[in-house]
Amino acid sequence: MGVPLDSLHSALALDPGAQHHLLQARRMQALSFTVHIPLVCFGIAFPVMVLLMEWWGQRTGDPLCRTIARRWSRVMIALLRSA
């Protein structure tokens, strides 16, 4: 016959009827992205905010900025320990 057996199996594998689990897999991926994308943004921005508060506290001598930076750094350490 003109059609190789491997290409026939590949065509049958792409049949939407054979992929009943595809919608569930896409939903799981969407849930994963929904959770992880904000966490990654927070994980990158939070240390930068702590460093900026520490720098601002040292530059201006404002004890509130240094206190905030110290508290945020403790929260950051707790998040790193739990992850």
Q: Which two structure tokens, joined as six digits, stand for 73?
A: 């750094």
* 79 closest CA partner among 54, 48, 31, 46: 46
Position 39 scores a pLDDT of: 82
Q: Hey, what amino acid is at 19?
A: Q
Do 29 and 21 contact (CB within 8 A), yes or no?
no
User: Which position has the higher pLDDT, 14 or 72?
Assistant: 72
pLDDT for 12 equals 62
What is the pTM for the complete model shown?
Answer: 0.55
- Predicted local distance difference test score (pLDDT) of residue 25: 87
How sure is the predictor about 83, in pLDDT bands with cuts at 50, 70 and 90? low
Q: Is the dihedral of CA 49, 51, 54, 55 positive or negative?
A: negative
CA distances from 62 to 6, 49, 54, 69 (A): 71, 16, 10, 11
At 41-53, the pLDDT tens digits run 878 888 999 999 9
